[in-house]
A and B are shown apart, each in its own frame.
Chain A
Amino acid sequence: MYEFLGALGRYGLKKLASLGRSTVMLVNALWGVPKPGKHFPLLVQEIYFVGVQSIIIILVSGLFIGMVLGLQGYNILKDFMATGSLGTLVALAILRELGPVVTALLYAGRAGSALTAEIGQLKASEQISAMEMMAVDPLRRIIAPRFWAGFISMPILSILFCIVGIYGGKFVGVDWLGLDDGIYWSGMQNSVDVITDFYPMLVKSLVFAVACTWIALFNGYDCKPTSAGISAATTATVVQSSLAVLGLDFVLTALFF
């Protein structure tokens, strides 16, 4: 019995300690807002790494998700003679949920895992300790630019995903299945609002950006400096980010709508 309690207590303390370390890391990263001139090259490099290189996967999945929504939506709405609502369906589904959520999941898989592996490798080869020895703050130099790069990139990726998805729905609904172009856009424009749909999308993607990047960076920064440790940290990043995104999405949806 005592053994069980002891094990539970140790587990809890360990989790709490790692939560504390991750918060300290996040605060330091937030503190280290990149300064123009000195840190911008680092930031640009990281935006290129997490943002630009994720574009292809985001665009392709956005296009196909939009096309599938268009196809499925059209076939179901056809039964009710309500194909005029296809634009509304595609736009609202993508803007409110699929856009930010799928972007965040893909981001966690594509960029988050890469961040964890990169930082874990830096740690395993003792480059982080070397930086500390040279009085270079590794949080400032390594963590902060990556965090801010994720924070900047994710909304842009979400917006691109939404646009491509909505045009994907249009390709299927209008160009292939013969729905009227004006009805597709007018139904959408009448039901989609900048305040109630577009801003929540941006807020969601910013929250997901913080969550995903934070989890990825902390897992890398805190991993065991071995190859097995890096592999475990990378897995943990993808699992934890996906769960965090889906959970946060529910909370945010409950708050917004």
Chain B
Amino acid sequence: MTQSLMMLLILSLFLGCACWLIFMWAVQKGEFNDVERPKHRMLDDDDVPPKQEKQ
């Protein structure tokens, strides 16, 4: 009983840590720098993107 409790506690801690690391990574990457533009981005019609079009 105490054994499995201990395991679960440690497991939950690891899960929390994983979330925390993802968050830190996101902050570091500047994911929260612009919260205005991304919501418009989904409205862009991204027709077949002609990557590296020759001018």
Q: Do A and B come from one complex?
A: no
Which residues does B use to contact A, with CB under 8 Å?
Answer: none
Which residues does A use to contact B, with CB under 8 Å?
Answer: none
